[in-house]
Amino acid sequence: MSKAYGSMTSEELLTLKEDLEKRYGAEKALGLKLDMSRGKPGPDQLALSLPMFGGLMPDSDFSTESGVDCRNYGALEGIPECRELFSRIVQVSPDQILVGGNSSLNLMYDAIARAMTNGVLGGEKPWAFVEGRKFLCPSPGYDRHFAITEFFGFDLVTIPMTPTGPDMDMVEDYVNNDPLVKGIWCVPKYSNPQGITYSDDTVRRFAGLKPAAPDFRIFWDDAYAVHDVYDDHPDHLISLMTECRKLGSENMCYIFGSTSKITFPSSGVAVFASSADNIKFVKKQMAVQTIGPDKINQLRHYRYFRDIDGIHAHMKKQAAVLRPRFDTVLSKLDSELSGLGIADWNKPSGGYFVAVRLTNGTAKRTVALCKEAGVALTPAGAVFPYGKDPDDSWIRIAPTFPSVDELSKAMDLFCLCAKLAAIDKLLGE
Amino acid sequence: MSKAYGSMTSEELLTLKEDLEKRYGAEKALGLKLDMSRGKPGPDQLALSLPMFGGLMPDSDFSTESGVDCRNYGALEGIPECRELFSRIVQVSPDQILVGGNSSLNLMYDAIARAMTNGVLGGEKPWAFVEGRKFLCPSPGYDRHFAITEFFGFDLVTIPMTPTGPDMDMVEDYVNNDPLVKGIWCVPKYSNPQGITYSDDTVRRFAGLKPAAPDFRIFWDDAYAVHDVYDDHPDHLISLMTECRKLGSENMCYIFGSTSKITFPSSGVAVFASSADNIKFVKKQMAVQTIGPDKINQLRHYRYFRDIDGIHAHMKKQAAVLRPRFDTVLSKLDSELSGLGIADWNKPSGGYFVAVRLTNGTAKRTVALCKEAGVALTPAGAVFPYGKDPDDSWIRIAPTFPSVDELSKAMDLFCLCAKLAAIDKLLGE
């Protein structure tokens, strides 16, 4: 059992520091060049989807079973086969789904951009004309979400994450009382970066919100809906849409998903799901923006997966690729940092990240030390609004891109740097 | 030689009408179901690009020559090979080009949407906050252009088209004096719907504009840059960017293009080109919107074409597919309507449309008669702002989708309907 740093004397800490610095020097000399900064799939994960480019698309056959010629204009809402397929992932009926291009982030951005200039169903005016508009940001969260609402001039309100999802007392207090609150960012399953799945109670409390703003929307980014890594004990998320339907609050739901982390990050298929009324409203706006999505790529996805069983079978293979990586990260954290009182972390059952909470005031320093020795981490602070972690404590680790061997080296370095930063903090340096 | 309707007596017209009505009745009885409404490629045109899905994309090789893994995130600006390739189409250097997704219309919409909420380089405020903002719309023009600026609340100002492009006296007067004028829609080569190519003088006058608004932009939709149909006498458009560079006015240029009418309308590649300063500014904004475009599809396009010669060779084949269609439309117009004093039309050397100007007050009626007998035309008025043709006289014919045989039938019907409408007009019915 390791001794907690907080109970060490200064001398003990200094001795330890000397030893760690030697090791750090040696690590630096290795000239590592590794990247754990973004949630990028590794080559072995990408290879799983390559059969999509084989015989599935013979020269002669680009029509859907429903008779759409995917090579030509049309089908703004996506091909019927994909609407059906993805309805199973996001737990919404097929007629309430639009299947779009290659990026769900783009769909979210577009949804807010349209709300800014032309408003949302039931809204009194476009959001651009709402002074002091606010957006709730459960944190730690996804930096690209926060960047969108920052770009559009929202005041970003940090909502603490709990093991069952965002702090719902605080969410209810804001949403139900403040008409300036127009939306909230959620990654409800295997959240980015903690891997937390919202509890049934949390989802029901979302469905039960009584927004002060008639045009309040829940941005439900179900990016990791089928991304079980430890598939012997997967998390289960109940359907927001189903819960909302019971309460007549479906219009709050803006649900997103994509195959970016199922097939190809730049060449996947993204979906937007909502109430029938919202879909009708949004489709009319979208008809001005584009003539339609890349249907050939949609057809390729449909032919590859066919149905939800096809997706689950594929994700089992993906889990086998990702599990050793998650194992490596978690076992390194366990063997190197547990018991020292300088770090906590979740053990997610799926998703794409592991989040580590370090001693306050040491996250930036840890990232800088790692960088100096050749390992790129997501910038400290990135998981909070405006890129500013008030405690300077959270680190997001993205284990999917490097190989297990590289990860192992990178995690050794990370733990070493976290220790050095903690010791300096304790010594007041 | 036919006799002009205007010089016929009422009796002659009534006799003619009786005969035409009999023929119309017979046409109706045929139960035609043909579509000349949109600029959609026909199956034989689409078939030209099908080799793109063959052996060009072996399972093992998704990297560009420059080393980008097209299967993963990254390359917001598009892959270098495509930037180089499309620079040749839009006549702008590769570093001033962003290669995007499947729709240049979407890129135009996005450019205006960003200007609405966050402004344009050099602008004083976002366009959403400019009361009474105006957009110039050379007409007849492209309905989807006009729809975008209508959606964003611009006052649409009709600028008459001339045989050398928009009426430049009027354009200069508006742009150089009215700071509320933020942009103008242009299809500079083989314009939609008339097939007019802007003269060298017109392009130079565009480059020489001295906008009253510092954030004025020319939306230069070079959709038909390589779309010669009669390639023995193609039109030539000089480069707006080159002319602007001479005068230091490059920041006015927002240039767009796509392969929608080269490869596949829903699965092509779109480009945005502008000054280096604009590209830098816009790229920063776009980084919030998306992580990047579908690079696999870009790679597919690059491998199929390789260089500008590859595109020209492909477009020669496409011209061979389209020429008989244009021949059919033009020869039917000639044999059925010339000399009657009820219709004028251009003879475009390329592009995707033929525009017919009928007797004032007969366009809607002609479209309705065609529809009743089973032939869909673009709605009358669509080629003007707000869908309202002040003279009710313009019709856009899209000859690319039907077969030659179908076109021949559809054009017979169209000419018949135009005659009937003209006679009724002359008879005051």
pLDDT at B186: 98
What is the biggest distance separating any 2 CA atoms in chain A, rounded to whole angstroms?
A: 77
- Tell whether the model's pLDDT for residue A303 goes beyond 80: yes
Q: What is the pLDDT of residues A351-392, one digit of tens each?
A: 999 999 999 999 999 999 999 999 999 999 999 999 999 999
pLDDT at B1: 53
Asked if A293's CB is within 8 angstroms of B266's CB, the reply is yes
Domains and CATH numbers, chain B: 5-46+312-426 (3.90.1150.10), 62-306 (3.40.640.10)
What is the CA angle B272-B133-B388, rounded to 5?
Answer: 85
Question: Which residues of B fall within a CB distance of 8 Å from A289?
Answer: 105-106, 109-110, 148
What backbone torsions phi and psi does residue B58 show, to the nearest 5 degrees?
-65, 150
Structure tokens that stand for B148 in this block = 């975008």
- Tell whether the model's pLDDT for residue B26 goes beyond 70: yes
pLDDT at B38: 87
What is the biggest distance separating any 2 CA atoms in chain B, rounded to whole angstroms?
A: 77
The count of residues in chain B is 429
Structure tokens that stand for B284 in this block = 């920063």
- Tell whether the model's pLDDT for residue A205 goes beyond 80: yes
- Tell whether the model's pLDDT for residue B388 goes beyond 80: yes
Q: Which of residues 282-321 of B touch A (CB under 8 A)?
A: 285, 288-297
Mean pLDDT, residues B301-324 taken together:
96
Percentage of chain A with pLDDT > 90? 92
Asked if A109's CB is within 8 angstroms of B113's CB, the reply is no
Element spanning B358, H or E: strand B354-358
Structure tokens that stand for B195 in this block = 């097939």
Whether the Cβ atoms of residue A421 and residue A366 lie closer than 8 Å to each other: yes
- Tell whether the model's pLDDT for residue A92 goes beyond 90: yes
- Tell whether the model's pLDDT for residue B61 goes beyond 90: no
3-state helix, strand, coil in chain A (%, to 5): 45, 15, 40
Whether the Cβ atoms of residue A370 and residue A353 lie closer than 8 Å to each other: no
State yes or no: cis peptide before A193, omega within 30 of 0.
Answer: yes
* Cβ–Cβ contact A132 with B under 8 A: no
Check residue B228 and report its DSSP letter: B
pLDDT at A262: 95
Asked if B72's CB is within 8 angstroms of A264's CB, the reply is yes
Structure tokens that stand for A106 in this block = 């783009």
Q: Which long-range contacts (CB under 8 A, 24 or more apart) does B390-393 make?
A: B390/B158, B391/B360, B391/B361, B392/B360, B392/B361, B392/B362, B392/B363, B392/B364, B393/B357, B393/B358, B393/B359, B393/B360, B393/B361, B393/B362, B393/B363
Asked if A73's CB is within 8 angstroms of B266's CB, the reply is yes
Give the separation between CA B133 and CA B213, rounded to whole angstroms. Answer: 11
Whether the Cβ atoms of residue B359 and residue B207 lie closer than 8 Å to each other: no
In three-state secondary structure terms, A412 is helix
- CB-count exposure of residue B35 (10 Å: 0-12, 13-18, 19+): middle
Cα–Cα distances (Å) from B387 to A30, A218, B19, B360, B382, in that order, read: 68, 36, 33, 16, 4
- Tell whether the model's pLDDT for residue A211 goes beyond 60: yes
Give the separation between CA B340 and CA B211, rounded to whole angstroms. Answer: 44
- CB-count exposure of residue B371 (10 Å: 0-12, 13-18, 19+): middle
Task: Name the band, by pLDDT with cuts 50, 70 and 90, for residue A67.
Answer: confident
Q: Calculate helix-pair angle for B276-289, A143-151, nearest 10 degrees.
A: 120
Asked if B116's CB is within 8 angstroms of A290's CB, the reply is no
Task: Name the band, by pLDDT with cuts 50, 70 and 90, for residue A1.
Answer: low
Give the separation between CA A408 and CA B227, rounded to whole angstroms. Answer: 55
Neighbouring C-alpha atoms within 13 Å toward the C-beta of B74: 14
Percentage of chain A with pLDDT > 70? 100
Give the separation between CA A82 and CA B267, rounded to whole angstroms. Answer: 16
Mean pLDDT, chain B, rounded, equals 95
Alpha carbon B349 to its chain's center: 14
Task: Name the band, by pLDDT with cuts 50, 70 and 90, for residue A145.
Answer: very high
Give the separation between CA A275 and CA A428, rounded to whole angstroms. Answer: 55
Q: What is the pTM of this model?
A: 0.96
* Cβ–Cβ contact B398 with A under 8 A: no
Q: What is the pLDDT of residues A387-413, one digit of tens each?
A: 999 999 999 999 999 999 999 999 999
